[in-house]
Amino acid sequence: MLRNYLKTALRTLWKHKLFSFINVFGLASGMLVCLLAMIDIKGAFDYDSFHPNRDRTYRILTDVTDKTNDEQGFATTPLPLAQDLARNYPFVETVTRVVRIYGEVTANRKQLPVVCSAVDSGFFDIFGFKLAAGQAAIAPKTVVLTQQTAERFFGTANPVGKVMDHSEFGPLTISGVFTKHPARTHLNFDMVVSTTTLSTPAWQRALTDWKQYAQGYTYIRLKAGIPIETLEASLPGLASRVTKGIRFAAEKGYTFRSQALTKLSPSREDLMHSTYEPTIGKLEAELGVGLLTLLLAAFNYINLTLARSLSRAREVGIRKVAGALRWQLMGQFMAESVILSVLGLGLAYGMLQLVKPMPFVQQWLIGDVQWENNGTLWMVFVAFSVVTGLLAGLLPARVLSGFQPAQVLRSQTGLNVFRGITLRKSLIVAQFSISLLAMISLLAMARQQHFMATTDYGFKRDGLLTIPLNGFPPARLSADISQLAGVERVSATVALFGDHGGNGQMVYRQKAGGDSSATDVFAADANLIATTGLTLLAGQNLPVSVSDSASRLVLINEEAVRAFKLGEPKAAVGQTLWLNDSTDVQVAGVVKDFQSTTLVWKIHPLILRYQPNDFRYLTVKVTGGNPEAVKADIARIWKRLNPYEPFAGQWYDDFLYNRHSHTDDLNFMGLLLGLAVSIACLGLLGMVTYTTALRIKEVGVRKVMGANVGQVVWLLSWDFMRLLLIAGAIALPLGYLASSFFLMTFAHHITVGIGLLSGCFGTMLLLGGLTIGWRTYRTALTNPVTSLRNE
């Protein structure tokens, strides 16, 4: 019997090729997104699976209670916690701290941003990061690189023993190189250094400061046989002991709790300063998008199957007269649906191979996940495909198998959902509503990225050429470039505006404490103000100097004046700020607020300080009518002074555009939108095609009675166009709300206006109208003699 079901199903699908193609393509599109989500979900549960003794390894979390008794969990802990646990609690076998630090590293004539982690010696015992060469970073000023980082700087050469220059730590000796991680890990880093490298006064204070709980992560491994309840029972008392006598500014206090390494990914709670493990919400959202796309395809199947209900009802009537039972008819229809779904799985795998190389897919979904040779995962894929086919075919099978011959003769095959609106029409509305909602959201995201790439950041960027120094001394290069015709000014900085900023640290109003604020300390020279067109509101510029003697005089922005309660800009001039308990600086002037970082963040307190050892970029102000010729001259100077390193200068506008446009992400999301719109339009095309075929004799009669082509097209199209209008009425307010919530995550963002909404709605009407008009126009051109020949 099953063989007969399959043969009959294949013949029926081959007979109706257009409808079969629409259904297979739609199901494949939905399954593509679902497969990506399922692969990512598998990867989420594979996180940190290669570490030894995972069942005895825990991360310590900090639960902070504020003045209003609200509690917030932090993935971080105070830095002295690890040593206290190791010293005072004998059931702890090994501990380590992990302190995440951002910065730039210069090595082998290359200057690149890196993510660095400072770790204790126990890191190499607790975690299973294996070394491909060299030894662990235990001594001060030593570093271990990942393989990817070693290749970025040194290619295939052995880097062990070579020296790298870190923007904060200075020279670091490479002691080893990690092997590639066998699975994903929540500890994402480019290199690790020993915590003994953190020797500055600021770091020494942080390493013993129980008040600061947001600077690093603490991991422990319990001794064998020790239950987790022993650790949990000890943590409340430990927190009470170390916080006794501490006066917090905005908190009542904090407590500690443990989190098993085996339960760390996917993250089941929203922790502040979380690491790189995926969250349950992210996985649910991915799977939700996939199921939503698949639901659109299932709507197509239900729609088209029910649209052909009259002809299938006659088939049902004949089979029932011949003695077929209802469950046998349902089996046939379900077999058709399952075959379509399995064919969709095959097409989805082919589509997956096409999108797999996309950067977004590799970075955020399936990169480093071993899935193609995983038999269990493929069994899940096939089972998912079969279940999808069964669920998609269940409703049509029940409806079609329930027809009675008398109903067929009276053509009573309508299916009312509510108030006379048919199920088929409801599904079309749902499809286009979802597609329009996705279109509005994607366009809002694209416009926000364009806004971040092109908006006014508060400094002049026209005619500015940025040059990464890659470790090359800036003085000689700056002097030679300044001699060129068309070069007005050259400035040296630690970073570029509109990116991550300089060196973020806590700055204090008084040496003994008092008012403090997280501040961006940005290394720059005296030419920065004139080069970038910043406005000096009070005081004077940084002094021109070639030594560190001028580093005590700094510029601050208006936000820093407010943060440190210095009054008016003029009153702030001459005031003293403390970078740590041994370094004080004096405010020489105040500059007007501008956006020194990405627009995701609000304007932060900023200190501009002369620190020539930290300079990583030159910014050249080019004037005249031929800036590209000036750029070529600068490239020749670079080649003469630094012949082994390629010139990487780019215009500031290009840097900001490349930094914020996120073209790869938008391309992938555009692909998803294209799939959703294609599914909806193909489903609409199938519906219009079948509906017009049923009304072909009506069209012939109307044409004989004098109706012209335009009248016939309008007659056939209006019912479908009305559905698009209803979809717009549903999706426009939902799209506005969804886009507004997304944009609220940016400190500076666009507004969702009538132009964006009407543009998306007009696009949907155009696509839907073309789909409807093309099919109805062809029907309207039919010769009435042909359509009325047989009755």
pLDDT score, position 308: 63
Structure tokens at 90: 């004998």
Contacts of 327-332 with C-beta under 8 Å, sequence gap 24+, read 327/401, 328/1, 329/397, 329/400, 329/401, 330/397, 330/398, 330/401, 331/1, 331/5, 332/5, 332/8, 332/9
Residues making up the chain, counted from first to last: 791
CA 649, CA 633: separation in Å to the nearest integer?
12
Q: How far apart are CA 56 and CA 66, in angstroms?
A: 32
Average pLDDT for residues 712-734, to the nearest whole number? 89
Contacts of 705 (CB under 8 A, 6+ apart): none
More confident residue, 479 or 661: 479
Among the residue ranges 131-135, 410-414, 541-545, 693-697, the one predicted with the least confidence is 410-414
What integer is the mean pLDDT of 348-363?
Answer: 86
DSSP 544: P
Under the banding of pLDDT at 50, 70 and 90, the label for residue 405 is low
Closest CA to 539 of 576, 568, 569: 569
Of 7 and 311, the structure prediction assigns the larger pLDDT to: 7
State how far the alpha carbon of 595 is from the alpha carbons of 119, 375, 442, 540, 558, in Å. 33, 51, 25, 21, 12
Q: Is 444 exposed, middle or buried (0-12, 13-18, 19+ CB in 10 A)?
A: buried
Residue 412 has pLDDT above 50, yes or no: no
Does the pLDDT at position 12 exceed 50? yes
**Nearest CA to 424 among 332, 505, 310, 524?**
310
- pLDDT of 596 over the 80 cut: yes
What is the pLDDT, as a whole number, of residue 421? 47
Q: Determine the Cα angle at 789 with ends 786 and 790, to 5°.
A: 125
pLDDT for residue 83: 93
pLDDT score at 737: 93
Q: What b-and-e string marks burial along 420-441, b requiring 16 or more CB atoms within 10 Å of the CB?
A: eeebbbbbbbbbbbbbbbbbbb
Tell whether the model's pLDDT for residue 301 goes beyond 80.
no
Task: Indicate if the pLDDT at residue 420 is higher than 70.
Answer: no
pLDDT band at 173; cut points 50, 70, 90:
very high
Q: How confident is the model at residue 162, as a pLDDT?
A: 93
The label of the residue with tokens 């950041």 reads 457
pLDDT reported for residue 630: 92
Which residue has better confidence, 477 or 420?
477
Q: What is the pLDDT of residue 312?
A: 65
Q: Would you put residue 463 in left (φ > 0), alpha (ψ -120 to 50) or beta?
A: left
The pLDDT tens digits of the residues spanning 647-667 come to 889 999 999 988 888 777 777
Model pLDDT, residue 415: 40
The rounded radius of gyration (Å) of the Cα atoms in the chain is: 33
Contacts of residue 53, defined as CB under 8 A and 6 or more positions apart, other chains included, come to 221
- Mean pLDDT (the chain, rounded): 85
Preceding omega of 266 cis (within 30 degrees of 0):
yes
| Range scoring the smallest mean pLDDT among 111-115, 161-165, 558-562 | 111-115
Question: What local confidence, expressed as pLDDT, does residue 422 receive?
Answer: 65
pLDDT tens per residue, range 242-283: 988 887 777 888 999 999 999 998 888 888 888 988 888 878
Which run of H or of E encompasses 283? helix 280-307
Q: Which residues pair with residue 222 across a beta bridge?
A: 92
pLDDT at 514 over 70: no
Residue 46 has pLDDT above 90, yes or no: no
* Mean pLDDT lowest among 348-352, 568-572, 611-615: 611-615
Give the range among 182-191, 246-255, 340-349 with minimum mean pLDDT.
246-255
For the chain, the maximum distance between any two Cα atoms, rounded to a whole number of angstroms, is 102
Q: In angstroms, rounded to a whole number, what is the distance separating the alpha carbons of residues 454 and 444?
A: 15
Q: Confidence band (pLDDT; 50, 70, 90) for 417?
A: very low
Query: Is it the case that residue 289 has pLDDT exceeding 60?
Result: yes
Query: What is the pLDDT averaged over residues 545-562?
Result: 80
Given the DSSP bridges, would you call strands 553-557 and 583-591 parallel, antiparallel or unpaired? parallel
Judge whether residue 141 has pLDDT over 70. yes
The domain ranges of the chain are 2-39+280-448+663-787, 54-263, 471-647
**In angstroms, rounded to a whole number, what is the distance separating the alpha carbons of residues 469 and 460?**
22
Three-state DSSP string of 419-482: CCEEHHHHHHHHHHHHHHHHHHHHHHHHHHHHHHHHCCCCCCCCCEEEEECCCCCHHHHHHHHH
Percentage above 70 pLDDT, the chain: 92
Structure tokens at 659: 């930094």
Q: According to the model, what pLDDT value does residue 419 have?
A: 40
Q: What is the pTM of this model?
A: 0.73
Q: Looking at residue 671, what is its pLDDT?
A: 81
Residue 192 has pLDDT above 90, yes or no: yes
pLDDT of residue 701: 84
**Looking at residue 736, what is its pLDDT?**
93
pLDDT at 413 over 60: no
Residue 171 in this model has a pLDDT that exceeds 60: yes
**414 band by pLDDT with thresholds 50, 70 and 90:** very low
Higher confidence at residue 109 or residue 469? Answer: 469
d(CA 641, CA 40): 48
- 319 has pLDDT over 90: no
Q: What is the DSSP letter of 77?
A: B
Q: What is the pLDDT of residue 125?
A: 94
Q: How far is CA 127 from CA 77, 124, 138, 162, 186, in A?
A: 19, 6, 15, 25, 12
pLDDT of residue 406 exceeding 70, the answer is no
Q: How confident is the model at residue 705 (pLDDT cuts 50, 70, 90)?
A: confident
Q: What is the helix (H) or strand (E) element at residue 384, kind and residue range?
A: helix 375-401
**Paired tokens of 586:** 């004096």
